Amino acid sequence: MIKYLLFDAGNTLVYVNMALVSETLSRHGADVAPEALWRSEHLARAHLDDPEVIRTSTDQTRWALYFETIFRFSGVTARSTVEPVIRDLQAVHRTNNIWEIVPPEVPRALEALRGRYRLAVVSNANGTVREKLRRVGLAEYFDVILDSHEEGVEKPDPRIFRIALERLGARAEEAVHVGDFYHIDVVGARAAGVRAVLLDPGGSHRDKPVPRIESIEALGRAVDAL
């Protein structure tokens, strides 16, 4: 029986403040609307969800690569623009964490799920995820919040999932993890013996052998199907 749900944070519960990214680009001479950045983001995420990219990078180095790839798909390639924009965004992210937009379906889904399961967050982050979730009103839903910066280990390393299970008092077969990166979230969870569901709203991972959902509101049905 599934008793515990583990959640990735970025692009699963909270999303990039693309208005802030657009404004930062504009200050450096590149005008790209938030909507266009989101279209590029879906392409960039699928592009980076590659086993070799994940193996040869860390969450910190992928952070810059993620935005550089978004900008490239948006037609912004000049280093004189990209580098200062990355610096400005990093300065904000270091303290505030720019994954701060909460879609309305997220608290609705969490409210329904916490009546059936104990919930936890397992996030590759920079030490700010707990405070960020508190600030945006989501921390109250979770019994355990793990930030890879604090734990000294990051997904897809299965150890971070084992830490989450230990703190929950859970067995691996009692838990399901949901996240948006196949080679980080799914591969890491499965290595720890935890089943996984992939959040794939863009349909980029139809070829992957994993249950997929388009919205976090479909998670309860996906878990029931497991």
Task: Fill in the amino acid letter for 205.
Answer: H
Mean pLDDT computed over 36-50? 95
Q: How far apart are CA 1 and CA 13, in angstroms?
A: 24
Quote the pLDDT of residue 17.
Answer: 97
8 Å CB contact between 168 and 121: no
Whether the per-residue pLDDT at 70 is higher than 90: the answer is yes
Band the pLDDT of 3: cuts 50, 70, 90. Answer: very high
Which runs of consecutive H residues, i.e. helices, occur in 17-135? 18-27, 34-48, 51-55, 59-73, 79-96, 105-113, 129-135
Question: Is 197 found in the same domain as 115?
Answer: yes
Question: Is 198 found in the same domain as 140?
Answer: yes
Question: Is 66 found in the same domain as 144?
Answer: no
* CATH code of residue 138: 3.40.50.1000
CA distances from 79 to 22, 37, 68, 83, 158 (A): 17, 18, 10, 6, 36
Per residue in 16-31, pLDDT (tens digit) is 999 999 999 999 999 9
Per residue in 83-128, pLDDT (tens digit) is 999 999 999 999 889 999 999 999 999 999 999 999 999 999 999 9
Instruction: Please name the helix (run of DSSP H) or strand (run of DSSP E) that holds residue 161, with its range, or none.
Output: helix 158-168
8 Å CB contact between 103 and 215: no
Domain boundary among 69, 97, 125: 97
Band the pLDDT of 2: cuts 50, 70, 90. Answer: very high
Estimate the share of the chain in helix, then strand, then coil, as percent rounded to the nearest 5: 55, 15, 30
Question: Is 93 found in the same domain as 51?
Answer: yes
Q: Which residue range is the domain that position 22 belongs to?
A: 18-97
User: For the chain, what percent of residues have pLDDT higher than 90?
Assistant: 97
Domain boundary among 45, 69, 97: 97
Exposed/middle/buried for residue 60 (C-beta within 10 Å: 0-12, 13-18, 19+): middle
Quote the pLDDT of residue 226.
Answer: 86
* CATH code of residue 26: 1.10.150
CA proximity to 189, closest of 200, 204, 174:
174
CA dihedral (131, 135, 136, 137) in degrees, to 10, reads 90
Per residue in 149-165, pLDDT (tens digit) is 999 999 999 999 999 99
Structural domains of the chain, count: 2
- Can you tell me whether residue 4 is helix, strand or coil? strand
Mean pLDDT computed over 139-143? 98
Domain boundary among 97, 123, 144: 97
Cis peptide bond N-terminal to 156, omega within 30: yes
Calculate ∠ Cα 7-12-17, nearest 5°. 135
